[in-house]
Structure 1
Amino acid sequence: SITYTGRFPYIIQVDGKTLIPDFVVDGKKKVIETFGRYWHTEENIREKIELYKKAGYECLSILEPIDKSYNKFAEGQLGRILEFTHNGYEIVSIKEIDKSKKGRYSSLRIWDVVNLHCEPYNNFFVNGVLAHNCNYGEMWENDKIGLMERNIRHVRWIKQIDEKMKVIDYYWILKEIVGLEELEGTGYSSTLFDTLLLRHSSLVLPSKSHESHTKYEGAYVMQPQSGVYDNIAIFDLTRFYPQILLSELLDPAILDSYKKQNGDSGWDGYKDFAQKYISDGKPAVWLDIVRDMSKERVRLQNLPEHREKLAGLKGILNSAYGVLASPAFRLYSPDIPERITEVARNTIQSLAEDVRRWGYEVIYADTDSIFAQVPRDKVDELEQKLNDKLSDYGDFSIKLDDYAVKILFTGAKKKYCLISEDGEIHITGFEFVRSDASNFTKGLQEEIIRMVLTGRENEIVEFLKLKTKEIKSCKLEDIAISKTLSKELKEYTGTQQNYILAAKQAPWLRDLKQGDAVKIVYAKNYPHSVAVYQDESDLPDKVDVDFDKIIDAQITKKVEGIIEQIGISWKEIQGQRRLL
């Protein structure tokens, strides 16, 4: 007998028995583990198999479909499956399947192997087995075992992230540095500095003022010229904002006394006033804290055994600027962060002019960084000249942060990609958002960037031509984009995206609710030019796919701004000759 109370059973059969995850079949524990590329890593699979074995399950079977419509993918999957045979695991079934079959299970016999697909409530299936469900409410009602397993996976992933990033250790160090009794308060800069001021000098801060936020001009960010550049040295000013605060003697208590004596007369006489204020022995607790922490950071920076504490000190020092700009902080002093950004803008712009005067081109500058085009053998010399010049502006220092063999700008601020001299690629500002790409186009933009940076520009045209050709033969599931409803359909009002309007008109989506995911495909024969669905079999008519719109949204707009920097226009991808 089979005991199973869940909503979704297996539809596969091994040794004449239908197998169900984590359930007893004929009085004997048995489980089938699926192995795929969808949400598990190989390490996760191996770990889980061993856990099941220790629990007494016969975990010897791994099923994997081979989709004959994707030969390369099938070959790769087969290779991964065969790897398990070397570890003593039995392969139950490797069977070619046809993904064009209609319906969910109606045309499948109990021993058929089916590929990954999605049902309502984001229920993911591999080989017909419910393996992942993204709707907690549905899982609680229909699949408590699946919900439990999902939660276990999430805890495991969080643990792995923490082991790699040391997140808990970081916040524990913050707690110890400032003297907080509980870990919860470490996520708020205002709480950290409230506690620091209390522990440092027994200073009890005034009540919050509940003032509104005051806007001020931020950091200087240079508008870059689009293009690809070689040999770029990236220099960073060290501890820039904390050093400005110290050099300019910026302290809320001093500023308050200065304003009481001089009114809002600007900064011209402030520094002289601050120096006298300090020499008279009056308290400047903010400066004392920043200065003491800066000294401690310098002391620890070459001691690897203190790297956790060093990271904590860096985090606190970096927030010494921002917390003063927050109305939620008891010492809210927007004039100070405004002054810090003013000094920072003047300093970085003056340095950029110096670099140009010395004969080098400044490609980009951002807050505390300068990107200068300079031969590698001249970098040390330029760094020394920059540090010598910085003494004119204050107690600052600058160092080489990276050297880019090649860097690409698309003309937008804070958006560039580069390859370092060690061969590592860094990408900043490009949004590789998985939800706005289909299975077919995921990773496309990043691949084009890698081609540009690694000298494979001559492959790009043919690569994109192939992609635009292949996409037209894709099945619906491979070109659909997934969207999750952030609220109930009826709550979408005013200007609405086409897929929302279409979903409201679709009778097959009448049970759609907040948190549900839908698939979207540009279509010529559906309302609002999109076919919206959860399961393809629910659609009343075959979709007349609008491939022109799909190519424009998923390929052209993703890569056009990049390939233009190397002289390739989208017209060339379409078969027109390049204009000289």
Structure 2
Amino acid sequence: MQYQEGFLISRHSRDIGDTTELVLWVQTVTGPAKLVITGEKPVFFVASADADSVQQSLSSSGLSFQCKPLGLSDFSHRAISGVYFNTISAATRASRILQAEGFDPFEADVRLSDRYLMERFICGGLTFSGTASQRNGFVEYRNVKTKASEYSTSLSRVSLDIECSEKGVLYSIGFDSEMDSRVIIVGPTPDNADEMPWIDWVENELALLKALNTWFDRFDPDVVVGWSVVDFDFRLLMKRAAFNNIELRLGRGREKAHWRDSNNSRQGFITLPGRVVIDGIDALKTATYSFRSWSLESVSRTMFGEGKAIDNPYDRMDSINRMFRDDKPALAKYNLQDCVLVNRIFSETHLMEFLIQRSRLTGIELDRIGGSVAAFTNLYMPRLHRAGYVAPTLTSENWIASPGGYVMDSKPGLYGSVLVLDFKSLYPSIIRTFLIDPLGLIEGLKSEDESTTVPGFRGGIFHREKHFLPAMIENLWKARDEAKRQGEKAFSQAIKIIMNSFYGVLGSSGCRFFDHRLASSITMRGHEIMKLTRELIENQGYEVIYGDTDSTFVSLGREFSNEEADEVGQALVVHINRWWDKHLSDEYQIPSSLEIEYETHYQKFLMPTIRGQDTGSKKRYAGLVDKHGERHIVYKGLETVRTDWTPLAQEFQQTLYQRVFDGEDIEDYVRQMVEDTLRGHNNDKLIYRKRLRRKLSDYEKNVPPHVRAARKADAVNEKLGRAKQYQHCGWIEYVITLNGPEPLEALESQYDYQHYVDKQLKPIADGILPFIGKSFDALSMPQLGLF
């Protein structure tokens, strides 16, 4: 049998009769392949001391299994036995029986497909062999053997979007891909159809769904993307297919699509065998992107300066209905535009490359949302087994919180020349340096020879030799440095997110490896490092005005040129890194992986006070960077970068800070802004936009302004016979009027301009004007007297 390489697209496991079937879909240089693996035995582990009682319980339940001792231990150093089953259902039933009787079946929650892949260290790429059979559009392999490979490939992608009536009746389906871009729409074929070859015309909704099946069978994409594509597009497609009594056969080989609702039924899951469906919003969040709004309109306008042709939900529905009735080509164009925008977002952000590299690094599925815990488990668990241990059971009992990152009390003021020094990947470098590791903790606590361990915090002790995580991070670190040198941004970003997630995983009660001694030994060591670093800087004659997790803000005491500031920053970096190298070698006999870097020189820097107090704020500041002829202000935690402040406040802050930093007159500007607001000249900037995080009916005692506005909006919707928009979460745009908050789409009252002066302009001004000896009240009061 010849071996060949492939990249894993999807994995599924199920019972077939009295055995298991594992199906891996992969993409190869010759096309898609289906790997069918049978006979893999589900397994969990129990303490050998409990083995007789376990076997008695399972035998009396009529289950078929095999229990045998293994050369493994749990984290309490008890001998372990493996319990093997022929089917997934039997293993699941057995674990429930044992848990009900007070036993602890270790690793019972690990899916068969995940265990198969992780124990072979398969992460994305794999080499395989088997008996091949040609099928319709792919090759099926049986008697399969697999092993890990570095193979990677690009995947074909289609962006899908549907248009429908307010009642969910399908109008059209759009596709955009390198293979084919078109819209299939319900309606009679017009006389000039040959002028629009990208539109297919079908008779009715049933024919539309049949055409959908045909499109997937013909063009055979690896990946389907879209905007809310799972919980809107596919959810509705599955409902309409059921209504029309047709099966959606959108998987490879015309296999059926499968829909599953989550336990809370507010999120669904779609399975297309041989393909993967990726929602653009979830993928961007996983890649740590952030936008003021996650609507396709907003993200598109932020990235490209263009968006959807119609975005108001009422205008959109009315327009879609009108176009479907009177101008179907216009609706088709609108449908296709959404598909194109999603593909542009994926291309611009390299999202598919990011997800592929994440899978190559961790082995988790391409469509996995978040996935930090799963990634850590995939990487760590097989190594743990080879070290002679089984992983502990996930539990939230006896959970002890660990301290968060170090945040220093700030010194408020308006400064000239502030340097920012950052520790490069502080928490991963602490793990590397101080050998923090789940196995290292267990072995360290067992060791009676202090020379073999490194002390942590809260009773944590870590073995100098027996550990995995420090080496895992070191390898990722080297890979990221190489990716940066090669300009591979998606690969570098994937590595950064994975490395930085390791601390969060170890500090999360949702991770089976959680132990407060692990997380505390990271964060409390971080506190120690930041405090000692502050002392090192101040001993050099400079003032530290703020510190946050891994960043230290250093005031130079006067304004420096960029060249002078760079010289000071680099000298501090050399001094600090050398000190830590020597200190750790002398104190712990360990090499240092800590590395502080000179990050930024702010020529002007504001550290504000907590609103209404004299105390310095935390995680809130602004600084002016002027480098290579480009000037810009960086805002952290201030109103400009917060979505719950109005455009009025954000524009006011940006202009006011720029004028203060540049030494320009601000008095006339402040007075004019107040006057324009009171005269109604800034109405388009007075819109609040806030998220409804719960159902409207869940807000009972405390009803905030945006909820009151949403209730008014839906009362108007009901009165006009329109669908309610805000009952189940979502975003609401509203303004404050003389009669309280009112939704933008149902505005009835006059604006409360004084509210915006008092609650939007004044807090912004009070954050900076006192540092230059001025007062918003004094500047605005003469103008207020005119009205």
Q: TM-score range by the shorter chain?
A: 0.5 to 0.7
1:567-578 alignment runs, 5 A limit: 567-575=773-781
- Following TM superposition, by how much is the alpha carbon of 1:415 offset from its aligned partner in structure 2, in angstroms? 1.0
Alpha-carbon distance in 1 for matches of 2:310, 2:460: 65
Is this contact kept in 2: 1:236–1:398, CA < 8 A?
Answer: yes
Is this contact kept in 2: 1:435–1:481, CA < 8 A?
Answer: no
Aligned mate of 1:494, from 696, 701, 712: 701
Counterpart residue identity of residue 465, structure 1: R
Counterpart residue identity of residue 286, structure 1: L
- Following TM superposition, by how much is the alpha carbon of 1:342 offset from its aligned partner in structure 2, in angstroms? 0.8
Distance 1:434 1:194, change over 3 A: closer
Aligned mate of 1:171, from 336, 344, 355: 355
Is this contact kept in 1: 2:735–2:751, CA < 8 A?
Answer: no
Is this contact kept in 2: 1:208–1:328, CA < 8 A?
Answer: no
Is this contact kept in 1: 2:734–2:741, CA < 8 A?
Answer: no
- Following TM superposition, by how much is the alpha carbon of 1:173 offset from its aligned partner in structure 2, in angstroms? 0.8
Distance 1:494 1:257, change over 3 A: same
Distance 1:140 1:398, change over 3 A: same
- Following TM superposition, by how much is the alpha carbon of 1:339 offset from its aligned partner in structure 2, in angstroms? 0.8
For these two proteins, the number of residue pairs brought into alignment is: 438
Q: Which residue of 2 aligns with 1:285?
A: 468
Alpha-carbon distance in 2 for matches of 1:518, 1:270: 51
Alpha-carbon distance in 1 for matches of 2:333, 2:690: 22
Q: Which residue of 1 aligns with 2:605?
A: 407
- Following TM superposition, by how much is the alpha carbon of 1:164 offset from its aligned partner in structure 2, in angstroms? 3.2
Is this contact kept in 2: 1:174–1:186, CA < 8 A?
Answer: no
Aligned mate of 1:560, from 759, 763, 766: 766
Distance 1:187 1:136, change over 3 A: farther
Distance 1:237 1:497, change over 3 A: closer
Flag the structure with higher strand content.
2
Q: Which residue of 1 aligns with 2:573?
A: 383
1:220-369 alignment runs, 5 A limit: 220-259=406-445, 267=456, 274-275=463-464, 278=465, 283-298=466-481, 300=482, 303-369=485-551
Q: Which residue of 2 aligns with 1:470?
A: 676
- Following TM superposition, by how much is the alpha carbon of 1:235 offset from its aligned partner in structure 2, in angstroms? 1.0
Alpha-carbon distance in 1 for matches of 2:366, 2:731: 35
1:14-413 alignment runs, 5 A limit: 131-134=310-313, 138=317, 142=321, 152-180=336-364, 182-185=365-368, 187-197=370-380, 203=386, 206=391, 208-212=393-397, 213-259=399-445, 267=456, 274-275=463-464, 278=465, 283-298=466-481, 300=482, 303-374=485-556, 375=560, 376=565, 377-394=567-584, 395=592, 396-410=594-608, 411-413=616-618
Q: Any idea what SS the aligned residue of 1:173 has? A: helix
Alpha-carbon distance in 2 for matches of 1:290, 1:440: 45
Distance 1:532 1:270, change over 3 A: closer
Q: Any idea what SS the aligned residue of 2:311 has? A: strand
Alpha-carbon distance in 2 for matches of 1:136, 1:199: 55
Q: Any idea what SS the aligned residue of 2:417 has? A: strand
1:81-127, Cα deviation, whole Å (9 max, x unpaired): xxxxxxxxxxxxxxxxxxxxxxxxxxxxxxxxxxxxxxxxx9xxxxx
- Following TM superposition, by how much is the alpha carbon of 1:237 offset from its aligned partner in structure 2, in angstroms? 1.3
Is this contact kept in 2: 1:521–1:531, CA < 8 A?
Answer: yes
Q: Which moved more, 1:499-508 or 1:341-350?
A: 499-508
Is this contact kept in 2: 1:179–1:199, CA < 8 A?
Answer: no
1:34-69, Cα deviation, whole Å (9 max, x unpaired): xxxxxxxxxxxxxxxxxxxxxxxxxxxxxxxxxxxx
1:218-277, Cα deviation, whole Å (9 max, x unpaired): 111112122211111211112321221122121111212344568xx98489898613xx
Aligned CA-pair RMSD: 4.1
Distance 1:201 1:453, change over 3 A: same
Q: Any idea what SS the aligned residue of 1:370 has? A: strand
Counterpart residue identity of residue 496, structure 1: V
Aligned mate of 1:425, from 620, 624, 633: 633
Counterpart residue identity of residue 380, structure 1: Q
Q: Which moved more, 1:225-234 or 1:429-438?
A: 429-438
- Following TM superposition, by how much is the alpha carbon of 1:500 offset from its aligned partner in structure 2, in angstroms? 4.8
- Following TM superposition, by how much is the alpha carbon of 1:291 offset from its aligned partner in structure 2, in angstroms? 3.0
Flag the structure with higher helix content.
1
Q: Which moved more, 1:358-367 or 1:550-559?
A: 550-559
Alpha-carbon distance in 2 for matches of 1:357, 1:455: 32
Counterpart residue identity of residue 408, structure 1: L
- Following TM superposition, by how much is the alpha carbon of 1:141 offset from its aligned partner in structure 2, in angstroms? 8.2
Is this contact kept in 2: 1:347–1:393, CA < 8 A?
Answer: no
1:410-438, Cα deviation, whole Å (9 max, x unpaired): 13211111122312322111243686555
- Following TM superposition, by how much is the alpha carbon of 1:178 offset from its aligned partner in structure 2, in angstroms? 2.6
Is residue 522 from structure 1 mapped to residue 737 from structure 2 by the alignment?
A: yes
Structure 2: which 5+ runs fail to align?
A: 1-163, 167-186, 194-296, 298-307, 325-329, 449-453, 585-591, 609-615
- Following TM superposition, by how much is the alpha carbon of 1:325 offset from its aligned partner in structure 2, in angstroms? 1.2
Is this contact kept in 2: 1:517–1:534, CA < 8 A?
Answer: no
- Following TM superposition, by how much is the alpha carbon of 1:352 offset from its aligned partner in structure 2, in angstroms? 0.6
Alpha-carbon distance in 2 for matches of 1:341, 1:307: 28
Distance 1:563 1:147, change over 3 A: farther
- Following TM superposition, by how much is the alpha carbon of 1:155 offset from its aligned partner in structure 2, in angstroms? 4.0
Q: Any idea what SS the aligned residue of 2:735 has? A: strand
Alpha-carbon distance in 2 for matches of 1:382, 1:266: 28
TM-score (norm 2): 0.49
Q: Which residue of 2 aligns with 1:446?
A: 654
Structure 1: which 5+ runs fail to align?
A: 8-22, 30-121, 123-128
Q: Which residue of 1 aligns with 2:169?
A: none
Alpha-carbon distance in 2 for matches of 1:322, 1:502: 37
